[in-house]
């Protein structure tokens, strides 16, 4: 029994270290210590934009994740009906805290 407890503790620790970190896989580059990346997501043929809407989702330790970073929500937040282009921003600090933000530009 004395050997089982350290074994279970080691397996639990290894599982926690190798799964569920607060990182977002879509980012074009990823820093294990710190990530702050902005990049394009999509574009349309709509030629003008004057509004910007955002939507975001956050994660803590990969255990708790909340938010709505959908294009639809970001467009609705700004009253956009014709999308010009969509960008995103991904931030992560030490795999502890991560935030993903979608920016929708349009009319």
Q: Where are the domains of the chain?
A: 20-106
Residue whose entry in the numeric block shows the structure tokens 């279970």: 8
| 18-59 pLDDT per residue, tens | 555 544 456 667 777 888 899 888 888 888 889 999 999 999
Residue 13 confidence (pLDDT) above 90: no
Residue whose entry in the numeric block shows the structure tokens 């569920």: 20
pLDDT at 104: 96
How far is it, in rounded angstroms, from Cα 104 to Cα 106? Answer: 7
Tell me the average pLDDT of the chain: 83
| 73-103 pLDDT per residue, tens | 999 999 999 999 999 999 999 888 999 999 9
Please indicate, yes or no, whether the overall pTM of this predicted structure exceeds 0.75.
Answer: no
pLDDT at 12: 67
Strands (E), 45-82: 51-60, 64-68
């Amino acid at each position: 029994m004395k050997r089982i407890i350290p074994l279970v503790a080691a397996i639990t620790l290894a599982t926690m270290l190798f799964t569920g970190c607060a990182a977002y896989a879509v980012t074009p580059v990823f820093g294990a210590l710190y990530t702050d990346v902005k990049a394009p997501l999509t574009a349309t043929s709509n030629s003008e934009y004057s509004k910007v809407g955002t939507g975001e989702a956050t994660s803590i330790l990969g255990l708790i994740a909340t938010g709505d970073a959908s294009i639809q929500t970001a467009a609705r937040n700004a009253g956009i009906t014709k999308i010009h282009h969509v960008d995103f921003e991904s931030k992560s600090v030490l795999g502890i805290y991560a935030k993903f933000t979608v920016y929708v530009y349009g009319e």
